[in-house]
Structure 1
Amino acid sequence: MYLNVHSHYSLRYGTLSVERIVTLAAQYGIEQLALTDINNTSAAMPFVKVCREKGIQPILGIEFRDISHHFLYTGIAKNHEGFRELNEFLTRHNLNKTPLPQRAPELPNAYFIYSWDQAPKILKENEYIGIRPGQVNKLWGQPVNAMRDKLIIFAPVTINSRIEERLHHYLRAVARNTLFTKVESCDLCQSNEIMLPLQQLLKIYEQYPYLAINTQKLMDSCNMQVELSTPKNKKVFTGSRAEDRELLHRLAMEGYRSRYGNNGIALDKIKSELAVIEQLDFMANYLIVHDFAWAGKKMGFYHIGRGSAGNSIVAYCLYITDVEPIELDLYFERFLNSQRTSPPDFDIDYSWDDRPKMHEYVFNKYGAAHTALLGTFVSFKQRSVIREFSKVLGLADAEIVSFTDPSREAENRTNPHYKKIIQLMNFMGEIPNQRSIHAGGVLISEEPISYYTALDLPPVGLPTVQWDMYIAEEIGYEKFDILSQRGIGHLKTTVQMVEKNHGVKLDIHAVEKFKKDPNINANFKIGNTIGGFYTESPGMRSLLFKLCCSTYIGLVAASSLIRPGTSKSMPDYIARFHDPSKTTYLHPVMEELLEETYGIMVYQEDVLKVCIHYAGMSGSDADVLRRGMSGKWRSPQEMERVKGNFFNGAERLGRPNDVNLKVWDLVAAFAGYSFSKAHSAAFAVESYQSLFLKTYYPREFMVGVLNNYGGFYARWLYVFELQKAGADVHLPCVNMSEAEVSITGTDAWLGFTGILDLEKTYIENIPFERHRNGTFRDLEDFVKRTGITLEQCKILIRAGALRFTGKNKKILLWEVHKYVSNRPSSNQLQLFGVRKKNIVMPADLVQTEVEDAYDEIELLGFSLTLNMFELLRTSHRGDVMAKDLKNYVGQTVRMIGNFVTDKPVHTIKGQTMFFAAWLDNNGDWFDTVHFPQSFKYTPFKGRGCYLIMGKVIEEFGFASLEVIRCEILPVKDRKDKQSITKAKAALLHYRGDEAMVA
């Protein structure tokens, strides 16, 4: 009898989870139940699954509301086709951004229910009027005989208790962005929207028994036959399975001959893999990803195939990945095994600016009805709940801030508002807050996707399903990951510049050659990797140095060791690397499995091998564990079952009990953090590609990094690296600069994009006008030809972009008033001629280097005129320089460093300590360690140069400073104090961290 049930996927409206709704229905003896969330079908498939588990017949529908959230009608699917029709109706309006009509559409396989006071006068055959519990009395005395067959029970379910009613009220206030007291009653559910036992519900309608008869008749006619567990991905790529097999074998053998020539080991491995791929019917998956790779290549795109796909030699021969699996003895079963039921994951990375075009290709190739992006849900987090609920209560900002301050917890607990909010928050559970988009997931479906979901059109502008990857997997969809990263943009841009500037066409995929290059390996060994993909962070650079990393295999290990789950094992690994005699094994089997990694689990494959060969687990159970380690499981019970199988299997094989416990602890420590070896290998391949460019074309490479908006560090650091590479870096100039950074020979010109607050119109139009009509002759010519506004021109003057005139900034800032007023644009026709202003300039307009430096810091985020050391009031540059630090191990020294970055780390006691990286006056790096006690008294105070006193320590040849004290050094003043404040604000903008601003 319940035809209008809302789950908490009716976002910021419903309060009940799907599991709770169905559990209540089962307790109340309800045998049929309709889920009709508001304008979405996010919970539809989980609802079907849970209903079947509880023996309840699921009915699916959608409650349609207009843009103001006013009820229009509820659609109920008669069958699976009806559900598709409802989804397509909602999808059409979502994608076209058109309002839903007041009258329901003509859908042959769906019913529509209107409210009593909004029903059309003439109803179609499939249309009904719902009578709410509070409306029963309205039937008294009404002429309803003519329409009695059209009247049904309509008892919405939204909440299930008084506290949930209050929670619902808060959620509606958040949704409406208004105060709790200002939420209108029409925006709220009614207090009787709870689920009652069936007999209790029917008693409300007992005077009109035909309502129950009509409702039961409608529900009995609904039959939702949905296959949940069968694979839903596109089943064939060509037209038939036989053609797929022929094409896959042909492409794999062509790639084998190209990659290997004639290698018996590789050939045997390919044949073995192809047999498994065919047996599990995953040929279409391989061919689709191969299609992605080659379509991108034809369009001139770079891609990186990473993740566990690198374990497959077939993927390597199809040029999906450049990871060669034989060299690394990669474990194919990590990627695919004969007991696996779901297709394998492929992760394909494109440059950040190429991915939209790849999405366009995929949607066009496989059809809009069969292709969609994968969605995800953002749940309410503790801090956001406190903040949002405090706002709707109308609390002051200071009080809201105090509520999220852990140090004021005891004080907050006496606050009645805080207690109220915490009570509701603890009741909420995992209520979703909003739908979003998965980082890279794309679904390619055999059937139209509308059989299982409606689609949204989020800001990226591509149709997106209304559920997440977990629901997708439950109903048989496996995603293809089409991802983006800026590192590939670095490669692409650099290769293009090298060809343009040097006439050299580089093969960036010649990775086997790069691996053997002594110059590239030498840079890895000393950590000279700034700008390099995944190798430039201070932690990674120090690890490379400590491991003397000068080989591809070493880099693969380092790429995984730096991960949070394995980083705890890092000291032991480094120690055993330098002295293998320190290696110990828990069991002889562990020695066989982990000899390569000195007895330490470094990769996900290590965990799988241990589970299968040490504990005798099946490949499918090991795969469950692997997915658990990747954060791709949701059931703690499932992991407990796998854990039990581990111990039972180890006991059957006669492994010692105490050793089993230790081995499991090692396995469990990896959960959620470790990389697959192939993933690390793919990262290492891209690291070699970027280091090849950095080694042989360092200037173009650093420009490539800048034009793809950097990497780990702030922009100024990459400009400094560009200077270190021998470039003469110039400030932006209207007669020389492009929108982005450009380089010719050793001259590099900063682009207009990097100037804070310069509008996009002028970033693009200034170089366009110069290329079209020649260089600008003077300030007046520049103003007239660009039509620039006064404020925008002043920004360019202060950034030094009009210095070609030979006049200093102060003179130009006076003169510009003669040619331009603060108007929207001088491109507009002037009705009356404007007389040139007679500007009288002061006699003494001197511009100092210090003033230039402050202008540059404010507008660019850094200064080229004076570096941070040159801005210091003191000429002292420290007692010890970074290159000599190893000579002072154990001694206390004073250094002066330009702050680059820091990393907070929590100690065992829950305190915060920091690691930091610095540059000395020579431009050399050094690292510091700040323990909680020293940092408490001498914290960082923003960007700048610091005097640092500390003890020199050394670990595996890597020297650093254990800080006792560090204080920021004063800088030279400029007369305009307001500009200093603005400069500090600019540092905040570029650093993105309020704590870093003095």
Structure 2
Amino acid sequence: MSETNSSPSPKISSKFVHLHVHSMYSLLNAVPTPKELAQAAKEDGQETLAVTDAGALYGAIDFYKACIKEGIKPIIGLDAFLAPRTRHDKEAQIDKPRARLVLLAKTFLGYQNLIQLVTTSNLEGFYYRPRLDQELIKKHSEGLICIIPSFAGEIALAFKEQDHDKASEKLDWYKGVFGNDCYLEITHHPEIFEHAGIQEKIIKLARTTNTELVAAHDVYYLKKEDRIARETMIKIQSGGVVDTTNDHGIEEDFSFITQAEALEKFSATPDAISNTVKIAEQCNVEIEIGTHWYFPDYKIASGRKPDDELQVTSYAGVAWRGLSLENPEVKTRLDYELEVIKNKGYAGYFLVVGDLLRESRERGILTTIRGSVAGSLTTYVLGITNVDPLEYKLPFERFLNPERPSAPDIDMDYADNRRDEIIEYAKTKYGADKVAQIGTFGTMMARAAVRDVARALGHPYSVGDHIAKLIPLGSQGFPMTIKKALEIETDLAKLYKSDAESREVIDLAKRIEGRVRHIGVHAAGVVIAPAPLSQFVPIQPDSKTGKFVTQYEMKSVGEDGVGLLKFDFLGIKNLSILADAVKRVKKIRGEIIDIEKIPLDDKKTFTMLANGQTMGLFQLNGSGMTAFLKQLKPSTIHDINAMVALYRPGPMESIPQYIERKHNPQLITYLDPRLNTILDRSYGVITYQDDVMAIARILAGYSWL
């Protein structure tokens, strides 16, 4: 896990530090991204910054990395919802949360307590919102600073109800739990009715009870003019129409104020300003990002160490695969791979994956593996993959580069109607509290943002729909943005210039485009931790299935984040279809088909392909592919592999050349004799990424780095 900085923190020269800040991870309630917040702090000379999103830690790691990149010390916090009674009480009209509490992590233990609080508030306390109660707060208070908010804090709410005794009682309880780490927040909002009066009462209570004050300016957007963007996001979530008729000059202001503005606003309470710096100096949490990986706690029955167990089982698997250690090529390759795996410390990972797939085989669940892992002889003899990398000249280094500190990544495909069985097996084996699916965030993409904004502004549906249809679709990995669409789509640019209504929608959509809208479940990603997940990441139940989901998305939870290795459990419909076909053959004809031992040189199959009988064939159907197959007349599995690899934009131009060379070997030429050993099976045509890598190494002298 991560370490706490035990050395004294250097003094901060900033005069004011923002300690109550919301990012876009407050889900349609705040505008700025973590990157924008960190940049704003840097521009104003603020050396540290807190994030306190509403009821969740979704953006904690994203914020942490953004701050580190800008040279800003990050403070991880939470703007928590409080249960009126206990977290277990969920009675209508009574237990909907009203009060809030800001908590900041002083130490790594405090950060872990935030994770525990968020997790339990979701798993046990959710009612409209994830809620904390006094029991939870007291149990997980160590390492935390408590700030009682000026708007929705229990003291402020008591003052609004004219209940001064209740305000005092609540403050006594918080001070009893947090001691000197309990602060009363004050904010400066003269534009909000009766707010100044409440602040005066808070200040008076602080003075009479010897409680520290802390100045804050709740941040929901960076600039004052972004208020309308936040209002629009709120209406997108809740429905209704944004009121654009008011005089915005006197509207509430929750922008990112500068240090100079803060000093002016809180000139009457200089101690509240200096306490922001005092708190910031106390908050020193260091999280290891991308430096360490945590493997599941795989129990080895033999008592061997993981490296030894992997070698023993791999050697045993050689004979199972019909290979021999007497073959120098097999022995040399296997020992080389095992040495790389040992040096990287990844043996445990391979044992875990091997066990999952062994369980699948025993249950009769069809599986396969995709991607670069097919280049590993170790995974082949372990039964993880089903392709002999020696036969197909697949490099191990594309999967696990000995010169790069990258984590292994094995994508496991399962029959989609039985995938959940293996996830449940993992929960049973390692513990339900150690296994969860990875969360993913849905964002407001260009077209959707335009439609949502148009509706929130009260425009007819046709307005947003017309604009959205003018925005081109993006491509995989390259989503379309409104800015880019305006540059490449002339009709959209003309509409923007000529129509004020459309310009209003587009300008506002650009300000909220890309913001997080909701959390969902990653299609395949699962994490398995060596200890309860709540020691690493916050957890919440999926709203649809109730299954555990991490609040950190893939980049934050995995090798580029807190270090939990991702296991991909992909559900593939075609595997379910194949399993059903095998089952039907057995039932109808009494024959048992082993799908992994189907001959790859079956002449009838190649004849069918050459005749264009491809309907329903995975990756080989469709008019374009079928036409090429009829020309090619494939006769080996290598022909099929080549067609699948080449039939895509770019490489598709090489298909006619491949076909010509297959039918006329005299056309086969090599620019360099050394290419013969690389491209012999593809008739001298560069076909695979592996070909390119091999050429770079053999001809150009590149290393794997």
| TM score, norm. by length of structure 2 | 0.80
- C-alpha contact 2:227 2:253 (8 A) present in aligned 1: no
> Is 2:200 the counterpart of 1:115?
no
**Cα offset for 1:74?**
1.9
Q: Deviations over 1:932-962 (max 9, x none)?
A: xxxxxxxxxxxxxxxxxxxxxxxxxxxxxxx
Question: Map of 1:72-221 to 2, 5 A cutoff?
Answer: 72-96=100-124, 98-99=126-127, 100-101=130-131, 103=133, 105-106=137-138, 107-109=140-142, 110-116=144-150, 118-120=153-155, 121=167, 122-123=170-171, 124-125=174-175, 126=178, 127-134=182-189, 138-140=198-200, 142-181=204-243, 191-221=252-282
> Is 2:515 the counterpart of 1:431?
yes
| Aligned twin of 2:704 | 619
| Aligned twin of 2:321 | 259
**Cα offset for 1:278?**
0.9
Letter in structure 2 aligned against 1:296:
S
Aligned to 2:54, what secondary structure does the other structure show?
coil
> Is 2:78 the counterpart of 1:23?
no
Aligned to 1:217, what secondary structure does the other structure show?
helix
> Is 2:420 the counterpart of 1:380?
no
Whole-Å separation in 1 of the counterparts to 2:622 and 2:22: 48
Structure 1 residues 182 and 136, CA gap change in structure 2 (3 angstroms): closer
Structure 1 residues 297 and 244, CA gap change in structure 2 (3 angstroms): same
| Aligned twin of 2:332 | 268
- C-alpha contact 1:285 1:343 (8 A) present in aligned 2: no
Whole-Å separation in 1 of the counterparts to 2:273 and 2:360: 59
- How many residues in Structure 1 have an aligned counterpart in Structure 2? 615
The percentage of aligned residue pairs carrying the same residue is 26
Letter in structure 2 aligned against 1:128:
Y
- C-alpha contact 1:42 1:453 (8 A) present in aligned 2: no
**Which of these two proteins has the greater Rg computed from alpha carbons?**
1
Letter in structure 1 aligned against 2:220:
T
> Is 2:29 the counterpart of 1:9?
no
| Aligned twin of 2:9 | none
Whole-Å separation in 2 of the counterparts to 1:560 and 1:68: 56
Whole-Å separation in 2 of the counterparts to 1:507 and 1:64: 55
| Aligned twin of 1:902 | none
Q: Once structures 1 and 2 are overlaid, which stretch shifts more, 366-375 or 325-334?
A: 366-375
Q: Deviations over 1:392-426 (max 9, x none)?
A: 12222333332233395335642222101212233
Structure 1 residues 598 and 516, CA gap change in structure 2 (3 angstroms): closer
Structure 1 residues 258 and 592, CA gap change in structure 2 (3 angstroms): closer
**Cα offset for 1:481?**
1.0
| Aligned twin of 2:285 | 224
| Aligned twin of 1:900 | none
Structure 1 residues 616 and 503, CA gap change in structure 2 (3 angstroms): same
| Aligned twin of 1:482 | 569
Whole-Å separation in 1 of the counterparts to 2:246 and 2:147: 24
> Is 2:688 the counterpart of 1:603?
yes
> Is 2:383 the counterpart of 1:349?
no
- C-alpha contact 1:151 1:214 (8 A) present in aligned 2: yes
> Is 2:601 the counterpart of 1:516?
yes
> Is 2:593 the counterpart of 1:560?
no
Whole-Å separation in 1 of the counterparts to 2:185 and 2:303: 50
Aligned to 1:144, what secondary structure does the other structure show?
helix
Whole-Å separation in 2 of the counterparts to 1:455 and 1:417: 43
| Aligned twin of 2:10 | none
Aligned to 1:63, what secondary structure does the other structure show?
strand
Whole-Å separation in 1 of the counterparts to 2:333 and 2:245: 66
Structure 1 residues 371 and 414, CA gap change in structure 2 (3 angstroms): same
Structure 1 residues 306 and 154, CA gap change in structure 2 (3 angstroms): same
Question: Map of 1:659-674 to 2, 5 A cutoff?
Answer: none
Whole-Å separation in 2 of the counterparts to 1:190 and 1:452: 41
Letter in structure 2 aligned against 1:487:
N
Question: Map of 1:309-388 to 2, 5 A cutoff?
Answer: 309-388=373-452
Whole-Å separation in 2 of the counterparts to 1:196 and 1:182: 23
Letter in structure 2 aligned against 1:515:
L
Whole-Å separation in 2 of the counterparts to 1:252 and 1:267: 11
Structure 1 residues 28 and 494, CA gap change in structure 2 (3 angstroms): same
Question: Higher RCO, 1 or 2 (CA under 8 Å, sep at least 6)?
Answer: 2
Q: Deviations over 1:227-282 (max 9, x none)?
A: 11222331663369952122211211121011124350223221121111111111
Structure 1 residues 563 and 29, CA gap change in structure 2 (3 angstroms): same
Letter in structure 1 aligned against 2:588:
N
**Cα offset for 1:97?**
6.8
- C-alpha contact 2:49 2:75 (8 A) present in aligned 1: yes
Segments of 5+ residues of structure 1 without an aligned counterpart are: 621-998
**Cα offset for 1:457?**
2.1
- C-alpha contact 2:224 2:253 (8 A) present in aligned 1: no
Q: Deviations over 1:900-949 (max 9, x none)?
A: xxxxxxxxxxxxxxxxxxxxxxxxxxxxxxxxxxxxxxxxxxxxxxxxxx
Whole-Å separation in 2 of the counterparts to 1:436 and 1:12: 15
Structure 1 residues 145 and 209, CA gap change in structure 2 (3 angstroms): same
Whole-Å separation in 2 of the counterparts to 1:470 and 1:565: 30
Letter in structure 1 aligned against 2:188:
P
Structure 1 residues 323 and 467, CA gap change in structure 2 (3 angstroms): same
- C-alpha contact 2:21 2:52 (8 A) present in aligned 1: yes
Whole-Å separation in 1 of the counterparts to 2:322 and 2:643: 27
**Cα offset for 1:60?**
0.4
> Is 2:348 the counterpart of 1:284?
yes
Whole-Å separation in 2 of the counterparts to 1:362 and 1:385: 39
Alignment RMSD: 3.0
Whole-Å separation in 2 of the counterparts to 1:232 and 1:37: 27
Whole-Å separation in 2 of the counterparts to 1:81 and 1:130: 24
Letter in structure 2 aligned against 1:365:
K
Q: Deviations over 1:816-858 (max 9, x none)?
A: xxxxxxxxxxxxxxxxxxxxxxxxxxxxxxxxxxxxxxxxxxx
**Cα offset for 1:304?**
1.0
Structure 1 residues 183 and 201, CA gap change in structure 2 (3 angstroms): same
| Aligned twin of 1:54 | 70
Whole-Å separation in 2 of the counterparts to 1:207 and 1:412: 48
**Cα offset for 1:456?**
2.8
Aligned to 1:113, what secondary structure does the other structure show?
strand
Equivalent residue in structure 1 for 2:359, among 290, 295, 303: 295
Whole-Å separation in 1 of the counterparts to 2:245 and 2:571: 42
Whole-Å separation in 1 of the counterparts to 2:559 and 2:214: 37
- C-alpha contact 2:409 2:566 (8 A) present in aligned 1: yes
Q: Once structures 1 and 2 are overlaid, which stretch shifts more, 339-348 or 234-243?
A: 234-243
Structure 1 residues 579 and 347, CA gap change in structure 2 (3 angstroms): same
Structure 1 residues 389 and 53, CA gap change in structure 2 (3 angstroms): closer
> Is 2:613 the counterpart of 1:546?
no
Q: Deviations over 1:531-558 (max 9, x none)?
A: 3333233333333222211321111112
Whole-Å separation in 2 of the counterparts to 1:358 and 1:69: 38
Whole-Å separation in 1 of the counterparts to 2:447 and 2:43: 35
**Cα offset for 1:478?**
3.4
Structure 1 residues 190 and 412, CA gap change in structure 2 (3 angstroms): closer
Segments of 5+ residues of structure 2 without an aligned counterpart are: 1-16, 83-94, 156-166, 190-194, 471-489
| Aligned twin of 1:575 | 660
**Cα offset for 1:340?**
2.4
Question: Map of 1:459-478 to 2, 5 A cutoff?
Answer: 459-471=544-556, 472-475=558-561, 476-478=563-565
Q: Once structures 1 and 2 are overlaid, which stretch shifts more, 56-65 or 349-358?
A: 56-65
Aligned to 1:4, what secondary structure does the other structure show?
coil
